[in-house]
Each structure stands twice: as C-alpha cells, then as structure tokens.
Amino acid sequence: MAVNYKAFDQEKTGLAPSVEVKDFYSREMLYVARNNTVLYPFASRKALPAGNSKTIRWLRDNTLENLGELEEMTPPVGQTPTEDSVITSVKLYGDIVKVSDEVQLTYKNDQLKRWQRELQKAVYQTKDALAESVLTTPSNLWAFSTTPDSDVDTTYDGSTYSDITSAPTPTGLKYVVQQLRNNLAPEITDTSMTSDLTNTQGIFSGYVMVIPRQAWSTITGLTGFVGIQDYPKDNAIKWSSGEIGAFPEIGLRVVVSDNMELITDSADSGTDTDAYPFVFMGEEAFGAVDIDGGSMKNYIHPVNEADKSDPLAQMGIVGVKFWDAYTILNQDFIVCVHGLL
C-alpha cells in the first residue's frame, strides 16, 4: 500500500492523521501478527463472534461407525451424522505506549516506528504465550523415559519430575507420531495457512512438534533430522515462522517457540527442573480467533491530538488491542511430552 507521507506529515501541516495512514499501520500490524505468531498457522480459526458475544463455538463432526455387511436386496439402515461443539470464552488483550510532547510523535518520526514495532512484537509473543498455556496441558500428558522400549512413559501424570528420565529420542518421536496416527489425527496438508510466506507445496504432509528454544541443539542433533536449509529447493515450504526443520521419515515438522517454560515439579516444593514440554499435534487440534476477522485494532494518536484524557495535547499514544481465545478441539489430536534437554 503506497502512502504519501509528506501529505500527512504533521510536523509541517499540523493536520489530523488521515484515514489512509492509520489504515496503513493497522494493516501492517495484522500482517506482522499473522506471519510471526508461531502457532497461529496450525489453529482452526473462527472469526470474532457477532453481536458482542463473549464466547466462540467450534462445531466438531463425530466419527462414523465401521461399515456393516450388506444383505442381498436389502438396503442398509444408514448412519446419521452427528456433531458436538466446543465453546470457550473470548477475552480482550492490549496496551498502550505513551510518549510526552517533548518527543514529537508524528507519522514520520522514528519514535512512532520504534514503538509500533515493539507493539507488533508484543502482540505475536502474547498470542503464542496464550496458545502454549493451553497446548501444554492436554489430557495426553506423557514423559520421555529410559524405561519403556518406546522411550515414552504414557503413565506419567505430570506430578512427579523423577519420572522424566530422558531427552527426546528418535524412537520416542516415532512412538508419539504413531499414537497420533492411531488416534486418526489428521496430518497437516493445507499449505494455504501460510500463504503470505510461500505459495509452494511442502516436502511432506505430517504432524508438528513444538519445542522450546533451549532444546534446539538436542533436537537438531538427533538422527533423521533435516534442517530447513536442506529442504528440496524446488518445493520447500515454511509452515510457520518458527520452523527449523523436520524428520521426513516419520512425517514430523519441528517448530521452535520462545515461550515454552521450565516445568515446575509439584512433588519437590514447586522448584523448577531442567525439563521442558514438547507438544505434538495434527490438524484441527486446537482453535483460535481469526486475526483477519476484525479481532484486532491499532491506535495511533500524535502529540497534537487533544482529548478528554489529555486536554492539553501533551502526550502521544501508540496502542493495540485484540480479542482472542484458545482451546483444544480434539484431545486425541494432541500430545504433550515432558523431556530433559
């Protein structure tokens, strides 16, 4: 979007900000949030509910029963498709940055650009943190362990740190992926979810593993890992801004997040451990509010705009607010495994 900044330079014109300029910054905020929120591309997205509703609802189709044997000249009774719903609360998030009239906040100066970028960063980091607080607490909570042959302890309940005895292993990763397949978790194949990053097809469909940044060297050092720089050049795709590579042989992409927190061991007086959560999921595992569905608003008020809260026009403001909601849609399509580094 082309903008004539000279026509809207308040240092020279003293005019109120134009709709065009405000729209430019709002679109920029949406673009940055959409393409830098690590987990957003994998969400089943719904637009902000109409009528100021404080809840959002996803419909989920139930699976059909196995097919029966047909009798000659007798039509089958048939199955009636059923569906249930997942409902969660929508909450409002946001903040502002205040700048005094000693530092002129205009549409052209560096102060506006700097704080606008900082707010953009805060938006996608907040969204990822909200998502991870939900995705790291599914009903399937396991631990990487040296005891089972699978390298995964499925009896772990998240309460005893001593049950976590291993870092992720190729055998453990393969086991978790197989369990997702056994649960009929759909593999992620829709590359349109990251159309702003690329419009080509990926090296494979599959599942996603979200790892903490602290585990980067642990995961990339495992046998079978292929870095994103080594994807085939003619058909490589980046599903998420946090993607670092994949395990093609088992159909697993790897995405890094900066918000995965140390696990607190409730059996040891709440002290932190050196273990982290690793989230595995397929398509339609969780839901989120659509960034492009009218859920976000960017605000920019230059210093020379007076209002009730600032009658002498002594303060400039850059701000943002957005509605959001995260929820697990299908517990069979997501697993969180605690592991060492």
Spatial distance between the Cα atoms of 301 and 296, rounded to a whole number of angstroms: 17
pLDDT tens-digit readout, 71-120 = 888 888 888 776 677 888 999 999 998 877 655 555 566 777 788 889 99
284, 174 Cβ separation under 8 angstroms: no
* pLDDT the model gives residue 97: 87
* pLDDT the model gives residue 220: 96
* pLDDT the model gives residue 135: 95
133 phi and psi, to 5 degrees? Answer: -65, -25
* pLDDT the model gives residue 109: 64
Q: pTM surpassing 0.85?
A: no
pLDDT tens-digit readout, 10-40 = 444 444 456 666 777 788 888 888 888 999 9
Task: State how far the alpha carbon of 213 is from the alpha carbons of 218, 224, 254, 335, 341, in Å.
Answer: 10, 19, 11, 19, 11
Record the tokens describing residue 168, joined without a space. Answer: 């992720």
- Domains located in the chain, CATH noted: 15-61+78-341 (3.90.1690)
Tell me which residues of the chain have a pLDDT lower than 50: 1-16, 191-202, 267-271
Residue with tokens 């400039």: 316
Task: State how far the alpha carbon of 6 is from the alpha carbons of 155, 228, 295, in Å.
Answer: 65, 42, 31
* pLDDT the model gives residue 110: 72
Spatial distance between the Cα atoms of 80 and 62, rounded to a whole number of angstroms: 10
* pLDDT the model gives residue 108: 62
Residue with tokens 């509010």: 289
Spatial distance between the Cα atoms of 334 and 186, rounded to a whole number of angstroms: 11
Which DSSP letter does residue 137 get? S
Half-sphere exposure in the Cβ direction for 75 (13 Å, CA): 3
* pLDDT the model gives residue 3: 41
135, 334 Cβ separation under 8 angstroms: yes
* Dihedral-angle region of residue 91 (phi above 0 means left; psi in -120 to 50 means alpha; beta otherwise): beta
Spatial distance between the Cα atoms of 229 and 201, rounded to a whole number of angstroms: 16
Task: State how far the alpha carbon of 228 is from the alpha carbons of 145, 225, 236, in Å.
Answer: 28, 10, 8
Task: State how far the alpha carbon of 276 is from the alpha carbons of 106, 124, 212, 241, 291, in Å.
Answer: 44, 21, 7, 21, 29
Record the tokens describing residue 251, joined without a space. Answer: 């159909």
* pLDDT the model gives residue 278: 97
Burial, 299: exposed, middle or buried (Cβ in 10 Å; 0-12, 13-18, 19+)?
Answer: middle
pLDDT tens-digit readout, 282-293 = 999 999 999 887
End-to-end CA distance of the chain: 45
